[in-house]
Structure 1
Amino acid sequence: MSVSSHENRKSRSSSGSMNIHLFHKTSHADSLLTQLNLLRKRRVFTDVVLCAGNRAFPCHRAVLASCSRYFEAMFNGGLKESRDAEVNFHDSLHPEVLELLLDYAYSARIIINEENAESLLEAGDMLQFHDIRDASAEFLEKNLHPSNCLGMMLLSDAHQCQRLYELSWRMCLANFATLYRTEDFLSLPKDKVQDLIFSEELEVEDESVVYEAVIDWVKADMDRRLSDLPELLRCVRLALLPETYLLKNVVSEEMVMGDKTLLSRVTYNLISFFTQVGQGSVRSLAQGLLLV
């Protein structure tokens, strides 16, 4: 249709009234995504290839940039990838996980399950598919259990999932008496161990559980962790331990007895406490330890 024909029609129909009609096809967005996905699978108009592991995924930059700030910045900035026809994630991203994210980008649908939720959370955070990160975190919240709460605490802390972190943290505190014997606990970094045992909300029947948790954690990697023992023992309320437990476990522990500085710090703390409460026998023992 020519420009003049359109202008003539406009002038004939202009009556000054507001006789208009808005046409809105609600299925248009789904149809558009479906067609874009078909084009992707046929490799039509694709202008970048994402590689992960030994697999390659032809894609459209515009689609990726629309779904992810990561890709928007990559393709719109001065990075080398903005000009390259290929972006290689090597082994930093599993190809199956990347495929799930791309399927979501082109369909707005993704299946999250127990096998892929953690990987999707990590990849969603890495590539700034924030909807996927948050959906995965919500899935993990619903499947949180004492058997996985330590791992969920670390995962959510690393990827800024605040609600998942808070729920995991509370579960760790509530189940510490059983968790401290697990491999997950023995694998925790020092700062998390310290945060847990120092928390006022830690639920344990007596302080011996906290002491044993510290000792077991250090013994799990003696060469690297022995130097952390003094700092961690400051978080243990040794004065709350029964006299028999102190005699049998604390003062006979080789790691404590073998470190004069640590031994002095422990015994000075005990002397101060037992002087206040009047337990002379243990106070004498503590004073004797300082002379060993």
Structure 2
Amino acid sequence: MAAFKQDQCVQRVGNQAHLSRLSSGLNQLRQQAAFCDVNIIVGHQRFPAHKAVLSCASDYFQGMFSSGFQESTMSEITVPGTEESFAQILDFAYTGYFTLSLRTVTGILQMACYMVITEAMDLCAEYLREVKGSFTIEDYCEIWSISNNHSSLADVAQIYRSYLVGHFSECVQSKVFLENSSASLMLEILSDEDIETYNTTEEQILQGTVMWLKYDWEQRKVHAVDLLKKIRFGLVPVDRLHKILGDDLLGMQQCKDIVEEVVKLSVTMDTASPPLIKSHPELFATRNTITARLDEDYDDASTAPTVLLKCKTKTACYKIAKLADIPNRYPYSDEKISLFRAFVSNENQLYAAIEVGYFDGEDGEESESHQNWVEANNFFRYRSETNEWILLPPMPEVMSLPKMVQMKEYIYLIGNVKYVPKSMIQRFNIRSKSWEILVDDILFHTSYAILLSTGQILVKGKQERAGPNPDGSHYGYWVAVVALYKPATNELLDVSVDTTLDEDSFFVEHDNNCYLETRSDGNEPEQVNRVICDFDSDRPTMVIGDVVEDKTLDTGNQFYPEFTFDKRKVGLIQVPCECKSHVMKNEAMTE
């Protein structure tokens, strides 16, 4: 038999029953006050305990007893909290167990956080996630306040803060909320777009904010302006503003200025172009109003168009979930026959125009059938309630690469006339569902069009010219053309600039200034120039100015005009993006 060396037979063994018996024995000694070397006083009750056990269970007690503090030599130590909560925490320190209920969990969580007992905090957090819809407003306020101060409870804080946001009008009826909610919490709530639900109006949000301020006016009035800047005053009836705000707030000059500005703008609400929801979103756009554009996956003919939210917004990037495929296919073939251009009106209606397209089939009759189908099926409206596209009266003239601009009750379509080297402008009346041709003899091919804050439409295009070759023959070349269309007078005026514009150059309006972007590969701006415009005169002009260092004016794909809509009206889902300011969670957003 082989002989083994002693160090080859070493084995570490254990017994769980022994650990349980040791824990149980220590707890019995505590209950009998045997060998205890400290009394913890909570409220009116004294709890005998062992410093060694408390130090092992709690970072709070370990620091107290081992760092030379005065408490390390004291036999009695007072701890804030309730007797019931500390009793549960003490049980956990000795046994690893405690009893949670809707009534006690808040106090136990607060005690666990105060004493830095991570395992107890985790158990409370797990319980709170499971019963998140079972508390009173007061409980939600307190749970959020406790968990918001600990990074390990961040998800719990978010869950309970979301409830406070969604029930803001109820929260401000709670004395606990009015007494204990801080200015920072109020700013967080008012900055959250989800505060506005179908059951909470902007007027109620304003009323709740004023209630919070006036609950302790002398201490809180310093926060009044910051909080009121978060209110969408344009959504509150003008005749109610003075009554809601009262003399205290209107006596503050900045608050008074805000109200006067809203009253002045509200007078032009129905006639403003573009709508105030676009020009003054901080006052007139609902918190759920987002700016978006249509985009499409050209690599997959079966892919439905998706609405993508621009990354520059304050929310995130979304797309409409399960958007029905636009019926832009030849009825006798699986091939996609055409592209579309689309946007959303103020009534959250999505429209799409189909371009003329071409059918590559060899059969002459099928080609003719295709053209006839497009003539009758070229303009659609998306109905979000049923996820389907509704056919609307067709355009009088089907266009190639139509550009769409919406102004009040009209949709303007600007594009190239089929088979003819010229462009035209026609418009659709949303209310009467009727068409009219405005300009049908534009002698250049359009490239894109944008709606300016002046209510005019800036159109960029190209025009073919001819020149002599050395041998006496002629050659064709293209020059850039820029025109300004005035809907009020139905005029199209040449404002061509003294520079060469290629296909990847776009005009952008930002803060009432016009800019020219020159792009590389059609993506990021390579150069941005400020454009000096005089569009209000009888002879409008546009001159290219200096290069602008700030290249953050990109408006995305210019072929797809931006639009606004209420995200509550359409099912949304978050999509990944390259915008570093957004934390993508891929959470489904439903109506």
TM-score between both structures, scaled by the size of structure 1 = 0.76
CA distance in 2, matches of 1:158, 1:19: 51
Secondary structure of 1:27's aligned partner: helix
Q: How does 1:21-32 map to 2 (within 5 A)?
A: 23-32=13-22
Match of 1:263 among 256, 260, 265: 256
Match of 1:151 among 117, 132, 142: 142
Residue 112 of structure 2 contacts residue 121 of structure 2 at CA under 8 Å; is this kept in 1? Answer: yes
- Deviation per CA, 1:88-111: give whole Å up to 9, x if none: 33xx23233222222222222111
CA distance in 1, matches of 2:87, 2:173: 38
Q: How does 1:210-229 map to 2 (within 5 A)?
A: 210-229=205-224
Secondary structure of 2:136's aligned partner: coil
Is 2:155 the counterpart of 1:163? yes
CA distance in 2, matches of 1:22, 1:224: 64
- Deviation per CA, 1:150-179: give whole Å up to 9, x if none: 333223224552121110122222333544
Is 2:117 the counterpart of 1:129? yes
| Displacement after TM superposition at 1:22 (Å) | 5.4
Q: How does 1:234-273 map to 2 (within 5 A)?
A: 234-241=229-236, 245-247=237-239, 249-252=240-243, 253-255=245-247, 256-268=249-261, 270-271=263-264
Secondary structure of 1:96's aligned partner: helix
TM-score between both structures, scaled by the size of structure 2 = 0.40
CA distance in 2, matches of 1:110, 1:214: 40
Residue 176 of structure 1 contacts residue 204 of structure 1 at CA under 8 Å; is this kept in 2? Answer: no
Is 2:165 the counterpart of 1:173? yes
Is 2:39 the counterpart of 1:49? yes
Answer 1 or 2: which has greater helix percent: 1
Q: For the structure 1 residues 63 and 171, does the alpha-carbon distance in structure 2 shift closer, same or farther, using more than 3 Å as the test?
A: same
Q: For the structure 1 residues 22 and 229, does the alpha-carbon distance in structure 2 shift closer, same or farther, using more than 3 Å as the test?
A: closer
Secondary structure of 2:100's aligned partner: coil
| Displacement after TM superposition at 1:263 (Å) | 1.0
Residue 41 of structure 2 contacts residue 77 of structure 2 at CA under 8 Å; is this kept in 1? Answer: yes
Percent identity between the aligned chains?
A: 21
- Deviation per CA, 1:216-266: give whole Å up to 9, x if none: 32333344434433222111111233xxx112x113443344334421233
Counterpart position of 2:29 = 39
Displacement over 6 Å in runs of 4+ = none
Q: Which amino acid aligns with 2:5?
A: G
- Deviation per CA, 1:24-51: give whole Å up to 9, x if none: 3221110111122222233333222222
Q: For the structure 1 residues 95 and 185, does the alpha-carbon distance in structure 2 shift closer, same or farther, using more than 3 Å as the test?
A: closer
Q: Which runs of 5+ in 2 are unaligned?
A: 273-591
CA distance in 1, matches of 2:173, 2:255: 24
Residue 177 of structure 1 contacts residue 203 of structure 1 at CA under 8 Å; is this kept in 2? Answer: no
Residue 144 of structure 2 contacts residue 157 of structure 2 at CA under 8 Å; is this kept in 1? Answer: yes
Q: Which amino acid aligns with 2:184?
A: D
139-148 or 119-128: bigger deviation: 139-148
Secondary structure of 2:148's aligned partner: helix
| Displacement after TM superposition at 1:180 (Å) | 4.0
Q: Which runs of 5+ in 1 are unaligned?
A: 1-12, 280-292
Is 2:196 the counterpart of 1:203? yes
Counterpart position of 1:289 = none
Counterpart position of 2:62 = 72
Q: Which amino acid aligns with 2:196?
A: E
| Displacement after TM superposition at 1:71 (Å) | 1.3
CA distance in 2, matches of 1:209, 1:49: 51
Q: Which amino acid aligns with 2:158?
A: E
Secondary structure of 2:195's aligned partner: coil
| Displacement after TM superposition at 1:203 (Å) | 2.8
Counterpart position of 2:304 = none
Q: Which amino acid aligns with 1:52?
A: V
Counterpart position of 2:90 = 102
| Displacement after TM superposition at 1:115 (Å) | 2.2
CA distance in 1, matches of 2:114, 2:54: 14
Q: Which amino acid aligns with 1:190?
A: A
Across the aligned residues of Structure 1 and Structure 2, the Cα RMSD in angstroms comes to: 2.9
Counterpart position of 1:193 = 186
CA distance in 2, matches of 1:20, 1:258: 84
Q: Which amino acid aligns with 1:16?
A: K
Residue 143 of structure 2 contacts residue 157 of structure 2 at CA under 8 Å; is this kept in 1? Answer: yes
Which structure has the greater CA radius of gyration? 2
CA distance in 2, matches of 1:20, 1:224: 70
Counterpart position of 1:290 = none
CA distance in 2, matches of 1:131, 1:162: 16
Residue 46 of structure 1 contacts residue 60 of structure 1 at CA under 8 Å; is this kept in 2? Answer: yes
Residue 23 of structure 2 contacts residue 94 of structure 2 at CA under 8 Å; is this kept in 1? Answer: yes
Answer 1 or 2: which has greater strand percent: 2
| Displacement after TM superposition at 1:66 (Å) | 1.1
CA distance in 2, matches of 1:38, 1:216: 53
Q: For the structure 1 residues 74 and 186, does the alpha-carbon distance in structure 2 shift closer, same or farther, using more than 3 Å as the test?
A: closer
Match of 1:139 among 110, 127, 130: 127
| Displacement after TM superposition at 1:275 (Å) | 6.0
267-276 or 149-158: bigger deviation: 267-276
